[in-house]
A and B are shown apart, each in its own frame.
Chain A
Amino acid sequence: MLTRRDKLTVAAMIGVPLLLDAAFVWIPALASVFLSFTKWTGVGSLHIKPCSEFPSAPGIPQPGCLYGVQNYKQAVTIYPDFWPAVQHNAIWLLVFILIATPLGMLFAVIIDRGIKGSRIYQSVLYLPVMLSLALIGIIWELIYANNYGLINTVIGRNGNDNLIDWLGNPHLNLWALLVEASWRQAGYVMVLYLAGLKAVDPSLREASLVDGANPWQTFWRVVFPAMRPINIVVLVVTVIESLRAFDLVYITSKGNPLRGLELLSVAVTQNIVGETQRIGFGSALGVILLVISLVPISVFLYQTFRREER
């Protein structure tokens, strides 16, 4: 039987996290969902009345009002950034899963084998993760710039007639940025993975060696399955990093996303932060991003809890 004191303790232990959770996660999320059905410049009050009840004059914002599903309709029909943004987010995710993350794993495995100078490689590969984004923006600007950039200068394509516009050409710039992003992501995954590899019981490897497995088999059949927890962490980090991809595009485009670099997160920011704000429209885009993010998160949680029940 719980005493009164026990009950109070339990209530506090559940109540405080619940309050924090509500204040920092649920209320903002629900507020965004609510705002996505409104039209509001962020100036003045938000009225709980349909927009059609307010007089409208050309070019002049109405006071905040209820706008129905118009924001969603406009996003998918006339907002030119929307579908490119969805596509680019998907490409970003695929490149991270297929290239950046495996590359980080490869670095980790090689370094873990104790090659000469592994500490130096480790530092060099991790360095991009520690650099500030402003710095990364400048570094890559110097590499990609079309007239004085490193690449165009080295390959002799920096004249006016033959230059390659790495950051401006919408067919190239996403890939140019994915190189930057992978450059950071690989280092990040490498460190996570190194920690995982160090935690694998050495006797497992010795046992597989005794059984006559080659290094390839040892890794895939023994070490990799033993690292299941870290694999899941890496996968979740990869998915989250690619869905919230934002900073590099923002730094490269200086706010207004260049064509070819549209991302959902950038579209949200562009509409909500700025001199004039379309809070309702930006929130609608945010809700769409939230729904997309919920898919991998739900799958992950479902998997985790199902295992625990067993």
Chain B
Amino acid sequence: MPDRSDFGGPTAGTPETDSAITPSLSRRTALKSVAGLGAVAAIGSTSLLAACSSDKSSNSGNAGSATGPITFGSNYSDAATKDAFAALTQAATASTKVQITVNTTDHNTFQNNISNYLQGTPDSLATWFAGYRLQFFAAQGLLAPIDDVWDKIGANFNDAAKNLSKGLDGHYYLVPIYNYPWVVFYNKSVFQAKGYQIPATWDDFVALCKKMKSDGLIPLAFAEKDGWPALGTFDILNLRLNGYDYHIKLMKHEVPWTDPGVTAVFNQWRELLQYCQNGANGRLWQDAAKTLENKQAGMMFQGSNQVAANYDPKNLADLDFFPFPAINPAYGTDYMDAPADGFMLPKKGKNQDAAKKVLEYIGTKDAETDFLKTDHWDVGLASGLIAPTYNDIQKKSAAEIAKCKNVSQFMDRDTHPDMANAMIKAIQSFIDSPTAATIASIQKSAEDQAKPIFTS
């Protein structure tokens, strides 16, 4: 579910520019080349099957016809999102006259194959995520810039949405469709019955947790077997304590993981962990969400795309949320994780002109409204959009996201995926034994792993 460069042009060449001067072999032909492994020594630094670089594609060759049929690679494999996506593509065909064939792949399979997919024969358009996860592939020359699309749709989005659609080179690579907030969920009926108040500060929050515990509730439903959910807790504590700029610097390894700011995050978390559901490392988030829905737990910090989507529709009216309470008055509740999903244009896709027309349509309020007809947990990104089908959760989500000075994506979307994996392990160790010694050792291990990931 969650998820996971510029090479700044001149710093590192794309394969296209390099292969002309450097002996090289493409992935597909690697096996063939290694057959000549013995030859490597003999040939030395001269061309090792130099003719193998077949993955060059001309940029102009796949423009295609402006109305030609296109294919759309989708990872919206759950029934509900699949329906929403079908509604969107039908509306896009009606508006642009471009025939769209949707190729749906299972969510995880799609993500795991993305490198091969983009280098092979990708669809004309594909679903993807904003943030570093977009920039990583854009910087490796696998995506086509869509600045001309943004010339037309730019007015529909605010600056935050624009920034997260850009690669590190400043060009646009994504048209976003929706995002969703990471907030603290609770059941209105439970708060009413017990007379709980929405906590505004950390002290109120801890006091509320204590009260819930004495009332026999699990204060915070919590699960981490999937690996990623607890990254959200790290993110929000970091954003509340150290602010957005620090968070982004940490994600880009401009601040070391051994920094005292990170220690502070874990120490804050230790205070909260005693109120979190035990055995999180062995629990799936769906089961934690069920504890909240069954009113055994008082609150749960997770994305609305998960908690609200997992709620039985008849209980949804009882569900409400509040932004994670303020900790450091300097930052208040200015930031949150609100991961955005959208669509990208693979460089090797066919009929790019038609695909761009579809993207121009998708980047409108009308298109987002179509998509959100059957989606009751995400919110559209077009500025000021309040779709007629929004429920209370969605209306509040849109309002809370709009209040933020900045939104981050999510650790596994904002940092290098290998770093996110390393942090998953680290956080699982922390949950297992939340001691000062563990914190010191995982900070050191994270920094040791970050160095080869980021500096080479």
Contacts and interface: CB of A to CB of B under 8 A. Distances in A.
- Which residue among A28, A30, A168, A277 has the maximum number of chain B CB atoms within 10 Å of its CB? A168
Contacts of A41: 115, 140
B337 to A, nearest CB: 19
A35 B27 CA distance: 11
A293 interface: no
Contacts of B225: 167-168, 253-254, 258
Nearest to B412: A275
A275 B7 contact: no
Interface stretch (B32-40, B93-101, B233-241, B370-378): B32-40
Contacts of A34: 34, 37
Interface residues of A, number: 63
Interface of B: 4-8, 11-15, 18-19, 22-27, 30-31, 34-35, 37, 40, 45, 48, 52-53, 55, 108, 111-112, 114-116, 118-119, 132-133, 136-137, 139-142, 168, 218, 224-227, 252-254, 277-283, 287, 291, 415-418, 421-422, 424-425, 428-429, 432, 445, 448-449, 452-456
SS of A interface (majority): loop
B226 A173 contact: no
A80 B421 CA distance: 11
- Which residue among A28, A39, A164, A258 has the maximum number of chain B CB atoms within 10 Å of its CB? A258
SS of B interface (majority): helix
A78 B449 contact: yes
Nearest to A51: B456
7 contacts: A47-B24, A48-B24, A56-B455, A60-B12, A63-B15, A168-B281, A169-B281
B112 A165 contact: no
Interface string A52-80: 00111111111100000010001001111
Q: List the 3 shortest-distance A-B pairs measured between CB atoms, nearest first.
A: A168-B282, A168-B281, A44-B15
Contacts of B7: 57, 60
Contacts of A61: 5, 136, 140
B425 A160 contact: no
Nearest to B415: A59
- Which residue among A51, A58, A169, A255 has the maximum number of chain B CB atoms within 10 Å of its CB? A58
A275 B280 CA distance: 25
Contact of A274 (B112, B140, B252, B455): B112
Contacts of B53: 45
Contact of B142 (A43, A170, A270, A274): A43
B449 A30 contact: no
Contacts of B132: 59
B34 A30 contact: yes
Interface in A139-184: 144-148, 160-161, 163-170, 173
Nearest to B12: A55
Contact of B418 (A58, A166, A278): A278
Contact of B283 (A60, A147, A275): A147
B22 A47 contact: yes
A49 interface: yes
A292 interface: no
A177 to B, nearest CB: 12
A99 interface: no
A88 interface: no
Contact of A160 (B13, B218, B415, B449): B218
A199 to B, nearest CB: 42
Nearest to B221: A160
A46 B140 contact: no
Given A146-B283, A163-B279, A165-B278, A276 B416 contact: yes
B140 A259 contact: no
A57 B142 CA distance: 18
